[in-house]
A = this chain, B = another copy of it.
Amino acid sequence: MTLVEQIHDVGRRARAASRKLATLSSVRKNAILQAMAEGLEDGAEAILRANAEDVAAAEANGLSSASVDRLRLDEKRISEMARGIRDVSVLPDPVGEVLADWARPNGIEIRKVRVPIGVIGIIYESRPNVTSDAAVLCLKTGNATILRGGSEAFHSNTAIVQALQKSGAKAGLPADAIQLIPTTDREAVSVMAKMDSFVDLLIPRGGHALIERVVSEARMPVIKHFHGVCHLYVDADSDADMAIRIAENGKCQRPGVCNSLETVLVHESIAAEFLPRLAAALARVELRADEKAQSILGDRAKAATEESWTTEYLDYILSVKVVASLDEAVEHINHYGSHHSDVIVTRSESAAQRFLNEVDSATVYWNASTRFTDGGEFGFGAEIGISTDKLHARGPMGLPELTSYKYVIRGSGQIRE
């Protein structure tokens, strides 16, 4: 088989599996999930063996120690994956939920019912645990999954999928419900992105180059888990202690994630007092400041460039800018931000209301840390990612975001006049 035939074959089989998955009961799906959790634990030895192969190759290829660490599995990480599956198994199943229900004057009864999307393709570069997490969330919502992980984790991912398939099958998992693209050929991503007859949705998770490639090549809908350039705006009338606490939490609690802060905007009327306190509180953070902020911060800050305002540092670096008004802050955020998560700290309800209305981001905050943009923190129980798109799903995506709907209409012979 050529590469195209090979990937299309995966797609065709996923489509067939999706028809079967759509009719599985919640009880059956949960039993499969329980079996799969056990299967992962039972298969730990084989998974760790495969993982050791990947780790050895990564070290031989000179990957950074941080990358190798992300790749490495151990008993504990496998237990966590299994626990994740069990957690999902006890969540409510969104499939079958009646979203709306009404009758028309002619007597037909219309029901809008949640159904699975069908086949979901996940393209990711990150830790091998995504393999299990993504497959399990898709299965819970009745979707077939086609997984395409990073080539450096190929053996680990293969072993994980085999363990899930084998244990799931015994509990009634349809064949081909969870498939891994069986090659590390880079072209496979392009073939996936073009086969919209077999894949209903692509979710890319990874760096800029991967996302850019998927967005430009895909024929089917794409939901991006893209970067987060998140802002804190400290308003004129605000609690400085609170603002510093939220800045510190946003920047330092976990700098490497998308909901961490990258820019602080400060109203000019409080800048002279606030900025030195901020600089002192964020002692380990490098500051990159606009001219006005730098005139206050002196040597403590480097000069920001135009690029600073759009950069997701994911590091102990923070852009700082003095603004003349709430309007300027909103405009800056809408222009330079990534429409992910942004916060205003203010005592003024009217300023907050304007900020919450006018900032065009998935999640907007008044007096709380942007670090709460997370499926778990929202109480969703599970998260497949955080959408930076506006269509279908925006912000943290839980189980309902992995479903579509259909209209089910019951009549007694009605025709249109």
Tell me the chain A residues, 375-417 only, with Cβ under 8 Å from chain B. 377-379, 389-392, 394-396, 404-416
| B404:A221 contact, CB within 8 angstroms | no
Give the A interface residue count (CB, 8 A). 67
Bound: A230/B246 CA distance, A: 55
Bound: A248/B415 CA distance, A: 9
Question: What secondary structure prevails in chain A residues at the interface with B?
Answer: mixed
| A366:B409 contact, CB within 8 angstroms | yes
- What residues on B are CB-neighbors of A407 within 8 Å? 362-364, 373, 378, 394-396
Q: Closest Cβ of chain B: how far from A94's Cβ, in Å?
A: 13
9-residue interface stretch from A34-42, A262-270, A352-360: A352-360
- What residues on B are CB-neighbors of A294 within 8 Å? none
Bound: A188/B339 CA distance, A: 27
Bound: A31/B361 CA distance, A: 28
Partner of A108, one of B361, B372, B404: B372
Q: Does A200 contact B (CB under 8 A)?
A: yes
| A216:B215 contact, CB within 8 angstroms | no
Query: A-B pairs with the 4 shortest C-beta distances?
Result: A368-B411, A249-B415, A371-B416, A392-B392
- List A residues at the B interface (Cβ < 8 Å): 19, 22-23, 102, 104, 108, 110, 115, 117-118, 196, 200-201, 215-216, 219, 221-223, 239, 242, 245-246, 248-249, 253, 334, 352, 356-358, 360-369, 371-373, 377-379, 389-392, 394-396, 404-416
Could you list some 9 contacts between A and B, CB below 8 A?
A: A117-B391, A201-B391, A246-B413, A364-B406, A364-B408, A367-B413, A368-B411, A372-B414, A390-B404
